[in-house]
Amino acid sequence: MSDCLFCKIIKGEIPANKIFEDEDVFAFHDIDAQAPHHFLVIPKEHISTINDAKDPTLIGKLTLTASKIAKDLGFAGDGYRVVMNCNENGGQTVYHIHLHCLGGRALTWPPG
């Protein structure tokens, strides 16, 4: 998708604070962190919303990549949250699916 912000980040057309990349996924720090640790894991394939996702292996890999990064960054043991927002009621603002991973502080529940 030529006009997709996250596709442009994957291609290096827009700078991002990259954490990890392989053939399937790309992870980078959120530009507006809501916790001491807040990064996003996205598929390299453009998928607009989780409603459009078809590949369970790819969706699972987003979660396992977040877990690995949380371990590498040293906050996995204390705990963290992973979340994917979907469409308007879910609060999605960028229509290329992304898994948020937030940690480094106690998070409240339920979310707003």
* Gyration radius of the chain over CA positions: 13
CB of 84 to ligand AMP, least distance (A): 7
Number of residues that bind ligand AMP (CB under 6 A): 12
Cβ-count burial 82-103 (b if 16+ within 10 Å, e if not): eebbeeeeeebeebbbbbbbbb
Residues designated catalytic? 98
- Do 107 and 35 touch, CB atoms closer than 8 A? yes
Residue 9, C-beta contacts closer than 8 angstroms, at least 6 positions apart: 15, 16, 26, 28
| Of residues 49 and 67, the one with the C-beta less far from Zn ion | 49
With binding defined as CB under 5 A, does residue 14 bind Zn ion?
Answer: no
Of 50, 45, 40, nearest to 20 (Cα)? Answer: 40
Which of residues 29, 44, 46, 61 is near Zn ion by CB under 5 A? 46
| Of residues 89 and 93, the one with the C-beta less far from ligand AMP | 93
| Of residues 7 and 70, the one with the C-beta less far from Zn ion | 7
CB of 7 to Zn ion, least distance (A): 3
Q: What tokens appear for 44 in the block?
A: 């390299």
Contact residues toward ligand AMP (CB under 6 A) are 5, 14, 16, 28, 30-32, 85, 91-94
Contact residues toward Zn ion (CB under 5 A) are 1, 4, 6-7, 46, 96
